[in-house]
């Protein structure tokens, strides 16, 4: 293994959205830094099973809204 090719690996504190904290080792920041999370498994709908926000109206829905009433009458 080559020397000086890997980043420094040190202990940081991770603060969850509910205020709980835990210590882990990471290459992020400096020794003793605190990483405050905006989204984590305790609050994100993907993990909690809560309501997911879906985009209302993609391209097809916008097209149908604009031209849905048109028909080809002979």
Give how many domains the chain has, as a whole number. 1
Does the residue 7 lie in any domain?
yes
For the residues of 4-66, what is the DSSP string, one character each? T-SPP-EEEEEE-TTS-EEEEEESSSSTT-EEE-SS-TTT-HHHH--PPPPPS--HHHHHHHH
Higher pLDDT, 74 or 24: 24
pLDDT of 6-32, one tens digit each?
889 999 999 999 999 999 999 999 999
pLDDT of 24-63, one tens digit each?
999 999 999 999 999 888 887 777 776 655 556 678 888 8
Does the residue 57 lie in any domain?
no
Sequence-distant (≥ 6) Cβ neighbours of residue 40 within 8 angstroms? 16, 17
Q: Which of 48, 8, 40 is nearest to 21 (CA)?
A: 40
Does the residue 19 lie in any domain?
yes
Does the residue 60 lie in any domain?
no
This prediction's pTM: 0.57
Does the residue 13 lie in any domain?
yes
Does the residue 52 lie in any domain?
no
Q: Model confidence at 74, in pLDDT bands (50, 70, 90)?
A: low
Does the residue 5 lie in any domain?
yes
The pLDDT of residue 12 is 97
């Amino acid at each position: 293994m080559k020397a000086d090719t890997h980043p420094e690996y040190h202990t940081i504190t991770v603060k969850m959205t509910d205020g709980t904290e835990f210590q882990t080792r990471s290459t992020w920041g400096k020794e003793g830094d605190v990483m405050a999370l905006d989204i984590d498994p305790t609050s994100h709908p993907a993990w909690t099973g809560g309501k997911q926000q879906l985009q209302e109206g993609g391209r097809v829905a916008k097209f149908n809204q604009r031209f849905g009433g048109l028909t080809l009458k002979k």
